[in-house]
Amino acid sequence: MKRILIVSFALVLISCKKTAEKEITNETTQKNSLILKGEKHFKSLKQLTFGGDNAEAYWSFDDTKIIFQSNNKKWGVECDQMFLMNVGETFEDKIPPMLSSGKGRTTCAYFLQDNKHIIYSSTHLGDDKCPETPMKVNGKYIWPIYDSYDIFVADLEGTIVNQLTTEKGYDAEPTVSPKGDKIVFTSTRSGDIELYTMNIDGTDVTQITHELGYDGGAFFSPDGTKLIFRSSRPKTEEEIKEYKDLLAQGLVQPTEMELYICNADGSELRQLTKMGNANWSPFFHPSGKKIIFSSNFESPRGFPFDLYMIDIDGKNLERITYGKSFNAFPVFSNDGKKLIFSSNRNNGGGKDTNLFIAEWQD
C-alpha cells in the first residue's frame, strides 16, 4: 500500500502539529525562500502543486515528464488518481491531465522505458468507488492493504492497454528497472507481504523476499543490479501475533520500518539502517553509492519526517532537509540534476502535501 498511504499517516500526525507547521511557514517567509537553513544540497527549489495530497512523483526516462498521484478535490477526484505533468509546469491555477480511469483508488505509477506508457495499481476492478481507508486499530496507526489492487499498463491518453497481475490479493507498488526489462512489486499472493519481480509484459513472476514482515517500496539501483526497499520485521512472539492478526484483516502497521538492500534477484540481502521508528521511501542517488530516504528516527514522538542520505554500506548518514513537518518521497531525475519530493512546507499551516523540485548539488 505503498506510498500515498504513508502520506495519510503523515497527515494524521500533521493535524496534531499545527503549531510546528506555522513555525516552519514563518521560517520560509522570513527567508523569502522555500529552502530552509541547512538544506545545502538544494541550489533552487520550486513548488509544483498547491492543494490536496500530492506524492509518488516519478520521472519519465527522458526526464521530460512526471507522473504523480493526487487526491486534490478541486481536480474532481474523491481519492488518489494519477496525473501527468511536463517538467517545468506548475498547477496553482490549472488542472493536469488525469491518466487513471477515475474509478477506485490508484497508487504507485511509474514510467516504462518507452516514455509512452505508465504502470500503476488500481482497485477499480473491485469497485468503481473509492475504498474506505481505516487509519487506526486499537489506537495504533495502520495501512489497509486492499486485495482488489492489481497492476495495469496505460498509455499517455489514459487508456489501459494491459493488465499485468490477476492473482487474488494485493498487487501494488511497482517500479521499473533502468534497464527497462524488469518490474519489482509487492504482493500478498504467498500469504505474507513480499517482493516479486516480473518481466515488463507480466511474465516470469519470481518471489525475491521470504522473511516474515512487510517488504515494499522497492526501487532499482541506476545500473539495475540492486534493490533498496523498506521492511517491517516482527521478532517477538507478541509482534508476530500482532502482525499476523492485522494481515488477516488486510492491514499492516508501518510505524517501525528499516531499509534493506539486496541484489535484483533477492540474493545478498542485508539490513541497511538500524535507527528505529519509520525509515522509508528510499531511492538511489545517481552514483548508485548512496540512498536518500525519509525518516522520523530523530523524533521521539514520531514527527516530523525529514530526508536523509546514507552510503550503501550504512556509513556517513547525512541530513538533507530541515523542517518541522513532513518531507518524503525523494526521487532523483535520471540525469541526477534534480530531485522531486513531497513536503508540507509553505502550506500556510494547513494539511496539504505538495510536490517540490530542487536543483541538486552534491
Q: What is the mean pLDDT of residues 166-195?
A: 97
What pLDDT is stored for residue 302 in this prediction?
66
Q: Where are the domains of the chain?
A: 3-360
What pTM was computed for the model?
0.90
337-346 pLDDT tens trace: 999 999 999 9
**pLDDT band at 137; cut points 50, 70, 90:** confident
247-260 pLDDT tens trace: 999 999 988 999 99
**pLDDT band at 21; cut points 50, 70, 90:** very low
261-312 pLDDT tens trace: 999 999 999 999 999 999 999 999 999 999 999 999 988 776 799 999 999 9
Percentage of the chain modeled with pLDDT above 90: 83
Tell whether the model's pLDDT for residue 19 goes beyond 70. Answer: no
What pLDDT is stored for residue 236 in this prediction?
96
The Cα 350–Cα 256 span in angstroms is 26
Q: What is the DSSP annotation of 85-110?
A: EETT--BSSS-PPB-S-SSS-EEEEE
What pLDDT is stored for residue 136 in this prediction?
78
**pLDDT band at 31; cut points 50, 70, 90:** very low
CATH topology assigned to domain 3-360: Neuraminidase (2.120.10)
| 68, 201, 267, 345 from 14: Cα distances, Å | 21, 40, 38, 12
